[in-house]
Amino acid sequence: MLKLVHLSDLHLVPPGNELHGLRPEAQLQRAVSHIVREHGDADLCVVSGDLTHDGHPLAYAEVARQLARLPMPVHLMIGNHDDRAAFAQAFPDAPRMPDGFVQQAIDTSAGRIILLDTHQAGAAEGRLCSARLAWLAERIEESGPAPVYLFVHHPPFPVGLKRMDDIRLADAEALWAVLAASRTRPRHLFVGHLHRAIAGSWRGLPFSGVRGTTHQIALDFKTAGFAPVSFEPPGYGVVLIDEDTVVVHFADIPDEG
């Protein structure tokens, strides 16, 4: 049994500043304390992007300081709100491709976990390119018969939230072409970006996404042009994987104040 913590959308700003009336560094502290207390025995943690709100170096430094409290290995991704150069400065040891893409394959007892970088500088929507797609195809191919799990920040499908659908992964068909041509189809797709607990399937591929640790995005199917913020409880995912099942629990982080 593999136990994985799926954390996403931390949106840190320089400590002492507010974002949507919340203090993201205090929110992250709550999240980390909850994970340490309740799920400190997890085998690994993946943070699926938007580590910061605007890529500020002081925000990355705070992310690094707080995530260092987690007892399990932590694997970081970047999202549309991140800054590739500032991330690289703050996390010089984070695995990345020679051309700077923040992606890696992690081999575990449950199979291979692949983190794919969909960040495009200056864009809110996600993008892939031939280099990233070729890398993905190779990582899946070399995994052989082992199960594969894929993490992306941007979901490659619409979910009914108008603004979020506008800024989903723009190159979804290119991603699908790689997955469809691969010998091993991923068992599960994990997404960030949505700031919501969400699950379903895309062309038969099961997916899940989790709440952020600070503000959430409202379950509002009407508003277009911007994503209304909501103050539902923050959360994260606890994923249990064995030979037969991939189980995703959505953990709420209680307000201890």
From residue 218, give the alpha-carbon distance in Å to each of 27, 156, 160, 226.
Answer: 18, 20, 11, 11
Q: Using the minimum distance from each CB to Fe ion, give the nearer residue, 50 or 83.
A: 50
Q: Are 13 and 27 in contact (CB under 8 A)?
A: no
User: At its nearest, how many Å lie between Fe ion and the CB of residue 149?
Assistant: 21
205-209/104-108 β-pairing: unpaired
Give exposure, 126-156, as e/b (b: 16+ Cβ within 10 Å): bbbeeebbebbeebbeebeeebbbbbbbbbb
CA geometry: angle 10, 172, 48, nearest 5 deg? 15
Q: Which is nearer to Fe ion, 111 or 192 (CB)?
A: 192
Chain residue at closest Cβ approach to Fe ion: 50
Min dist. Cβ of residue 175 to Fe ion (A): 19
Which residue number, 8 or 143, has a Cβ lying nearer to Fe ion?
Answer: 8
Least CB distance from residue 170 to Fe ion, whole Å?
17
Choose between 43 and 165: whose C-beta lies nearer to Fe ion: 165
The angle that helices 130-142 and 172-181 make with each other, rounded to 10 degrees, is 30
Question: C-beta of 50: minimal distance to Fe ion in Å?
Answer: 3
For the record, the structure tokens of 190 come out as 């994990």
Nearer to Fe ion by Cβ, of 66 and 143: the residue is 66
Residues shown for the chain: 257
Could you give the CA distance from residue 247 to residue 27 in angstroms, rounded to a whole number?
Answer: 26
Compute the least distance from the CB of residue 53 to Fe ion, in Å: 8
Interface with Fe ion (CB under 5 A): 9, 50
